[in-house]
Structure 1
Amino acid sequence: MLELNKQQTLSFHSELYNFIPQNHLLIRIHQLIDFSFILEFVGEQYNLFYGRRAKDPEMLFRLIFIQKLYNLSDERVIEETKVNLAYKWFIGLNPEDPLPDSSLLSLFRVHKIGAGEVENLLTEVVKQCVEKGLVKSSAILVDATHSYSKHEASKPLQVLKQAANRLQRAVKKHNSKLLKQLPKMPEFEGETRDKEKQALAYLADLGDTVEQLLPDAEGSLRSRLEETKKIVSDERLLTWKGVQSAIDPDARFGWKSATTSFFGYKESIAMTEDGIITAMKVEPGNASDSKAFPDLIKQTAETGLVVNEVLADKAYGSFTNLKLLAKENIIPTIRLNEMMLYGHQDEQREKFVYHKDSESVECPGGHHSIRKAKMGRKNGNECQRLTFFFDVEKCKACPLQKGCYNTGSDSKTYSVPIVPDFKQKAVEYHESESFKLRYRMRYKIEQKNHELKNHHGLAISQYSRGLLGMRIQAVLTAIAVNAKRMVKLANPKVAR
């Protein structure tokens, strides 16, 4: 049963709140953000009429907000709130009211917030920001940062053994009498590869047995079963490219640079020039930056913000993304890589000459193409190509065929991309002075990434719930950082 708190109900001790400075950050945030949206977000997870009385979702959400704002652990935020008047005022309790146990915060994050599309919480906060007119810029900056997993990567055999032990412990906790019915872990024999295959087969058998014995498993046991299935079904596990942690099976190796890797997760972020994070997509560390781009644009549009320009580095300058921006009439201030600028170039190809009058290509040997054809889908995710065909019989007798014609081949072609208007405009803009001036503004999102990681704990995963836990952590952190920025943008008169 859901029970809502009444902020500062009649209490003699509530007079103590008059000692909170009028310009305190939490008072300003309270004036700017209506946190009641959490009630609708988690409402379906509660029974409004039956069961034990539940703690107020808004109060719990505000506690978690304080936790991310000041980078505190579950235990620390409860202890701090007991003695901090501003914290207790912010969550809506009287000074003498008791606080929930810290374990309730974890349950609320996972089973209430985690049951919904957590990114919608960020969207709701940004909507309020837009409605209040705090966002003045129509440009967004896009970039990615990373978070280390709190758990170390392991070799496949160790991952499989750990997963089996974790599942057995969960069964023992649920019903210790069932342990005798589980298959015992054998002694794995042979070379490392053979041992890994044997361990994988054993883990699959163990998972099937547990599911047969406990088909309606819930809680931690269900989580362990899901981890087991994820590991068993990972085709890349034994190649050391897939799951590398039994405790954090969603984490993956990604690259910070050409020589430096990390094990964890990647957060793709969209932010206004004003410093408000409008969208976030959290994925395993090996995810592609470019493929996250459309989701960031979509999430940003859902906030009601009208975007006229996107600033991003060359990781986002794909054909698909440029086409998307052209469709939405958004200026692509995106660094283009050499392939997008010039296409594939080599010394041999530069010797082919196109004659526009005859619409043919002349090869280095002086022979002209005999026909041409358009290749590729007209509305595909890459340029169509104009392919020119040459008389193979002439190629066979040509003294310059080395490096040009493959002996025995039935055809000889030369292709050039058909550059669409949106790509041509992007290339022309890329070379302009206005592009260079605007592109310099990207430092703002790099500063935001630094703030998220070094001041609010996003540098490392804090929850043991894989990708879901990382999504919850990242979105809640973004909300806290946005709230700080909203205070600076609004600078309202402080009044209670």
Structure 2
Amino acid sequence: MLRQVQKQMSLHSILYNKISENHILKKINYVVDFSFINKLLEDSYCKNFGRPAKEPEMMCKLLFLQHLYILSDEKVIEEANLNLGYMYFLGINPEDELPDKSLLSKFRTQRLEEATLDEIITEIVRQCVEKGIIGGTSVSVDATHIEANTIRKTPERLMKHLARKIIKTYEKENNQVLEEIPEVPKYKEIEDHTEAKAVMKDYLENVISKVKKNIRKDCSESIKTKETIEKAREIIEDPKFLNQKGVRSIIDEDARVGRKSKNQEFYGYKTEFMMTADERIITSVRTADGAYVDGTYADELIEQTLKSGMKIEEVYGDKAYFRKPILNSIEEIKAKAYIPVSESVYRIDESEFSYNKDSDEWECREGNITVKKKYYKIKGKSRPDREGYKYYFEPEQCKRCPKHDECAKKSARKILQIGLNTIEFYEISQYQKTEEYLEKYKKRASIEGKNAELKRFHGLYRARGYGLLSVSMQSKLAAIAVNIKRIAAIAASKFCIFTLNIKIFSQYYKFCLN
């Protein structure tokens, strides 16, 4: 059960006076009140029975310290037993005992939930808004990749491991050795990759068939073996598996192959976060597998940011976020999007064509103007319907054009076919060439620095555990850690300005008296 009364600080707490006022953990305590965590997690504890539990606030703070200084469970407990700054931040007496490292692990996996971390981030940001630490109305959004805590295996090797796991599970569950096991093919000697995959798939199917036959023969339930077989079937029957886009590890089944660029891949996860552009404080975080498409969680990121009480007037992002649904979501909250036009959705060559919105006409580079417009819709069987407009140039005018033969090679008819949103995107692209936009867009660069900080100094370059839930919690705890650093820095600068103003006023007052 949780303690009902707050502990009184002992005489030994006078040692905390030795901690410098500039210490990051002392400064953050002046700004953020973490006591809300106890209220947030009280329902996960029994209120009236059981021995007194360690306060959720203290346990969460241990996790914050762990990600702030990149420590293991064992190391953070060891350091917290010696470091006065850590003890002060945890809110304990210097002589108090800290929990065992195993309790910290249990708290993280059994008490703390992913949604709870979202609420903690939101409440910290809300307090910053309330106290004036956050005063800006601009946010940036971006995604960064996280390497999985395991290697990616080829489908052949993975099928070999799946077969071995089925055999071992059967033998352990039934306490007998499986006889007449098919010999593992030497797939590495097969030069043709496609053939090697087919050979190993046949081998795995043979193993499954053999094990199933033994289960029926022995009349055993073999529940765990059946579950292992079912999991193996689920993996190999996924069309993405043999194309090397599905599961690549038995240890971490959630990790996927993603792309850093056209020529560079990675294996793991992607974390997407929203951050205030001026103060550089993270307001919301979402994590997905490596194949995640940037911007899919944009609505959730915006919604969580608004929950903190922050007003959003400007949203910054890279080309990946230039999609109509995202632009609409930004428009709904009456904010302005500063996102470069993406060539993948806006397919007009502006060196060839320009648009006049007053007359609703397109003009080619030779001065020919469209004279007719028609709406079109093409129904797609395997892909979404395509719709838009066709603009027709005057045929005679095109015939007299010196570029007629060159254009005829590109299109037999003198038609400009555009998408439904092309005109809107054209107007956006024209604004993005102005000095005003180019100056504003410089704000987005700050999020790249935050990406680097999360990876280099808070361990987000690689997953600590396995599975999407574990990586998601790691990402959110890392976000809280960088927020603690940033909030402390802003609070210190504001305090310095306040102190400087007092000194100036004092000097001016003495001058007036003289």
Q: TM-score band, normalised by the shorter chain?
A: 0.7 to 0.9
Q: Distance in 1 between matches of 2:31 and 2:349?
A: 55
Does 2:470 match 1:486?
A: no
Q: Distance in 2 between matches of 1:124 and 1:275?
A: 16
Does 2:8 match 1:9?
A: yes
Name the structure 1 match of 2:332.
Answer: 327
The correspondence of residues 104-183 of structure 1 with structure 2, limited to 5 A, is 104-114=103-113, 116=115, 118-162=117-161, 178-180=174-176
Q: Distance in 1 between matches of 2:239 and 2:116?
A: 28
The correspondence of residues 24-39 of structure 1 with structure 2, limited to 5 A, is 24-39=23-38
Q: Who wins on radius of gyration, i.e. which is larger?
A: 2
Deviation by residue 1:196-247 (Cα, 9 ceiling, x = unmatched): 424655898889x9x96558x9xxxx9x999868746643122211111111
Report the alpha carbon displacement of residue 480 of structure 1 after superposing the two structures with TM. Answer: 1.2
Distance 1:23 1:404, change over 3 A: closer
Name the structure 1 match of 2:292.
Answer: 287
Q: Which residue identity lines up with residue 476 of structure 1 in the other structure?
A: L
Q: Is the 8 A contact 1:7 1:94 kept in 2?
A: no
The correspondence of residues 375-414 of structure 1 with structure 2, limited to 5 A, is 375=377, 384-387=387-390, 404=411
Name the structure 2 match of 1:448.
Answer: 450
Distance 1:258 1:35, change over 3 A: same
Report the alpha carbon displacement of residue 60 of structure 1 after superposing the two structures with TM. Answer: 1.0
Q: Distance in 1 between matches of 2:117 and 2:232?
A: 25
Q: Is the 8 A contact 1:5 1:93 kept in 2?
A: no
**Deviating more after overlay: 63-72 vs 282-291:** 282-291
Name the structure 2 match of 1:267.
Answer: 271
Does 2:496 match 1:470?
A: no
Note the aligned Cα RMSD (angstroms). Answer: 4.4
Q: Distance in 1 between matches of 2:24 and 2:240?
A: 48
Name the structure 2 match of 1:393.
Answer: none
Q: Is the 8 A contact 1:231 1:243 kept in 2?
A: yes
Report the alpha carbon displacement of residue 52 of structure 1 after superposing the two structures with TM. Answer: 5.5
Name the structure 1 match of 2:321.
Answer: 316
The correspondence of residues 424-443 of structure 1 with structure 2, limited to 5 A, is 424-443=426-445
Distance 1:333 1:413, change over 3 A: closer
Report the alpha carbon displacement of residue 473 of structure 1 after superposing the two structures with TM. Answer: 0.5
Q: Is the 8 A contact 1:319 1:382 kept in 2?
A: no
Q: Distance in 1 between matches of 2:339 and 2:168?
A: 51
Report the alpha carbon displacement of residue 361 of structure 1 after superposing the two structures with TM. Answer: 12
Q: Which residue identity lines up with residue 389 of structure 2 in the other structure?
A: L
Name the structure 2 match of 1:396.
Answer: none
Q: Distance in 1 between matches of 2:55 and 2:343?
A: 55
Q: Is the 8 A contact 1:38 1:57 kept in 2?
A: yes
SS at match of 2:250: coil
Q: Distance in 1 between matches of 2:129 and 2:207?
A: 51
2:245 to 241, 247, 271: 241
Q: Distance in 1 between matches of 2:44 and 2:121?
A: 19
TM-score, with structure 2 as normaliser: 0.75
Distance 1:360 1:192, change over 3 A: closer
Q: Is the 8 A contact 2:170 2:222 kept in 1?
A: no
Q: Is the 8 A contact 1:63 1:77 kept in 2?
A: yes
Q: Distance in 2 between matches of 1:426 and 1:370?
A: 24
Report the alpha carbon displacement of residue 62 of structure 1 after superposing the two structures with TM. Answer: 0.8
The correspondence of residues 32-71 of structure 1 with structure 2, limited to 5 A, is 32-51=31-50, 53-71=52-70
> Which 5+ residue runs of structure 1 have no aligned equivalent?
391-398, 407-411
TM-score, with structure 1 as normaliser: 0.77
Q: Distance in 2 between matches of 1:230 and 1:78?
A: 41
Q: Distance in 2 between matches of 1:358 and 1:276?
A: 44
Q: Is the 8 A contact 2:377 2:386 kept in 1?
A: no
Report the alpha carbon displacement of residue 162 of structure 1 after superposing the two structures with TM. Answer: 3.9
Does 2:374 match 1:372?
A: yes
Name the structure 1 match of 2:402.
Answer: none
> Which 5+ residue runs of structure 2 have no aligned equivalent?
188-194, 394-404, 497-514
| Identity of matched residues, % | 33
Q: Which residue identity lines up with residue 267 of structure 1 in the other structure?
A: T
Q: Is the 8 A contact 1:150 1:460 kept in 2?
A: yes
Q: Is the 8 A contact 1:266 1:287 kept in 2?
A: yes
Q: Distance in 2 between matches of 1:159 and 1:19?
A: 56
Report the alpha carbon displacement of residue 322 of structure 1 after superposing the two structures with TM. Answer: 2.0
Name the structure 2 match of 1:187.
Answer: 183
Q: Distance in 2 between matches of 1:327 and 1:96?
A: 54
Q: Which residue identity lines up with residue 489 of structure 1 in the other structure?
A: I
SS at match of 1:283: strand
| Matched pairs, number | 460
Distance 1:321 1:146, change over 3 A: same
Name the structure 1 match of 2:398.
Answer: none
Distance 1:416 1:7, change over 3 A: same
Q: Which residue identity lines up with residue 53 of structure 2 in the other structure?
A: A
Q: Distance in 2 between matches of 1:40 and 1:198?
A: 56
